[in-house]
Amino acid sequence: MGAVLTGIVRSSRVIGAEDDSYQFLALDIVTERGVAYVCQVWDIEQISDLVGHYGDKPLLDHRVKVTLLNYSIGTRKFKDGSSAPQVRFRISNVRDLGLPDEEE
């Protein structure tokens, strides 16, 4: 894809398997038009850098600019047992643009 996405991180968490077979950083990024993108960072070095610098909820409420690498469509299961289709974007090159102005 190679497209660029800019928005505000509204959710941030590291997700990993109990057996340590995988780990990724999940970021929900909302654009200024209100469109939410469910994103995942899979680069272990970038995850380590972000967690090391920002803590366990990297970039929460920060404006970011990221590169969209590709996407997949799957089913998301919720805690209440329901499920819904969801598009997930794999991203890289996460850049912190700082905290947004109060109007954003």
Task: Show pLDDT as tens, one digit a residue, over the chain (104 residues).
Answer: 679 999 999 999 999 989 989 999 999 999 999 999 999 999 999 999 999 999 989 999 999 999 999 999 999 888 899 999 999 999 999 999 999 887 65
- Model pTM? 0.88
Q: What are phi and psi of 44, to 5 degrees?
A: -60, -40
Let me know if residue 36 belongs to a domain.
Answer: yes
> Hey, what amino acid is at 8?
I
Q: b/e map of 69-80 (b: 16 or more CB within 10 Å)? A: beeeeeeeeeee
Which residue from 70, 58, 61 is spatially nearest to 94, judged by alpha carbons? 58
Range of the domain at 10: 3-98
Let me know if residue 103 belongs to a domain.
Answer: no
Let me know if residue 92 belongs to a domain.
Answer: yes
Let me know if residue 55 belongs to a domain.
Answer: yes
Let me know if residue 90 belongs to a domain.
Answer: yes
Number of independent structural domains in the chain? 1
So what's the pLDDT on residue 101?
A: 81
Let me know if residue 37 belongs to a domain.
Answer: yes
Let me know if residue 104 belongs to a domain.
Answer: no
So what's the pLDDT on residue 104?
A: 55
